[in-house]
């Protein structure tokens, strides 16, 4: 694969990995480009055939959808594919200081393959990894398609600042974040890796429908110990334009959609941190 001339300028390069069942890749591409990145949509088979492709990018995104039909469990097939065929390259990607974000199905993939949340484990050796967190069926036993409020409860993630509140859509049937036990959830909280929680419009922890899935601790998104891998269930790419807000005709247009913050923070991080390394 030949990188286009545009990537020789100061735009960070992002790769959106897609496969059968991915359906949020174009929205994610639009969001990243709006935030200032150069973006390629690449099929998983192309990367598996040419693993060095990952090294050409600084941001990797696993977008939403229903990869391989979620036939075993949401994201499980792609998680196994990445773990068994691309793990070394993904670990190198992280070790090089680059960024990974998994949205909805992408979040499920990252958790089930072991890249998230890795409590207090900076070194990404996944030998003997035992999955202690998962995304399970919603308590409502149905597909939840609604707008939700998120509040950032940590400064650890490079993708968001603490106490930021976002209003973005959620759309999933298996979005309930679960830990093996309460102790594991406590450890995740103490390590400041719980990035987003579902809240009400006042920013307070609340139950259904504010927490659409019944997640333990209202968890909506987590990061790894470095803060450079983020997984979140709601869809920031679906609220990057002000006209995507469901009440914009009644409440008036804002300058931009709130979800763009996630992507802009990623692009700015690469410009400010990694450009100094002349990548």
Q: What is the pLDDT of residues 18-61, one digit of tens each?
A: 999 999 999 999 999 999 999 999 999 999 999 999 999 999 99
**DSSP E strand boundaries for the chain:** 13-18, 38-43, 59-62, 99-103, 133-136, 144-152, 165-172, 176-179, 194-199, 219-223, 229-232
Q: Catalytic amino acids? A: 104, 235, 237
CA–CA distance, 74 with 232 (Å, rounded to integer): 14
Print the domain residue range for 157: 5-277
Distances (CA, A) of 74 to 121, 132, 145, 225: 25, 16, 16, 24
Q: What is the pTM of this model?
A: 0.93
Per-residue pLDDT, averaged over 92-119, amounts to: 95
Q: pLDDT tier at 11 (50, 70, 90 boundaries)?
A: very high
Q: How many domains does the chain have?
A: 1
Q: Which domain CATH number covers 126? A: 3.40.50.880
- pLDDT of 104 strictly over 80: yes
């Amino acid at each position: 694969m030949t990188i286009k001339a545009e990537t020789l300028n100061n735009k960070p390069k992002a790769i959106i990995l897609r496969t059968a069942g991915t359906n949020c890749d174009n929205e994610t591409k639009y969001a990243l480009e709006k935030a200032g990145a150069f973006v390629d949509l690449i099929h998983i088979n192309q990367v598996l055939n040419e693993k060095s492709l990952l090294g050409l990018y600084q941001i990797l995104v696993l977008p939403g959808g229903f990869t391989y039909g979620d036939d075993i469990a949401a994201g499980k097939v792609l998680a196994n594919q990445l773990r068994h065929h691309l793990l070394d390259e993904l670990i190198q990607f992280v070790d090089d200081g680059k960024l990974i974000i998994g949205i909805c199905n992408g979040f499920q993939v990252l958790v089930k393959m072991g890249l998230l949340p890795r409590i207090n484990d900076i070194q990404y050796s996944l030998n003997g990894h035992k999955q202690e967190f998962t995304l399970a069926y919603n308590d409502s036993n149905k597909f939840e398609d609604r707008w939700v409020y998120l509040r950032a409860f940590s400064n650890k993630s490079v993708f968001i600042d603490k106490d930021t509140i976002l209003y973005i859509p959620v759309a999933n049937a298996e979005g309930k974040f679960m830990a093996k036990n309460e102790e594991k959830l406590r450890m995740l909280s103490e390590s400041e890796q719980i990035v987003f929680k579902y809240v009400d419009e006042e920013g307070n922890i609340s139950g259904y429908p504010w927490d659409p899935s019944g997640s333990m601790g209202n968890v909506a998104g987590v990061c790894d110990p470095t803060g450079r891998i983020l997984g979140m269930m709601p869809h920031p790419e679906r609220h990057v334009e002000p006209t995507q807000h469901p009440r914009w005709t009644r409440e008036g247009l804002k300058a931009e959609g709130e979800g763009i913050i996630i992507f802009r923070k990623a692009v700015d991080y690469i410009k400010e941190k990694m450009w100094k390394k002349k990548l």
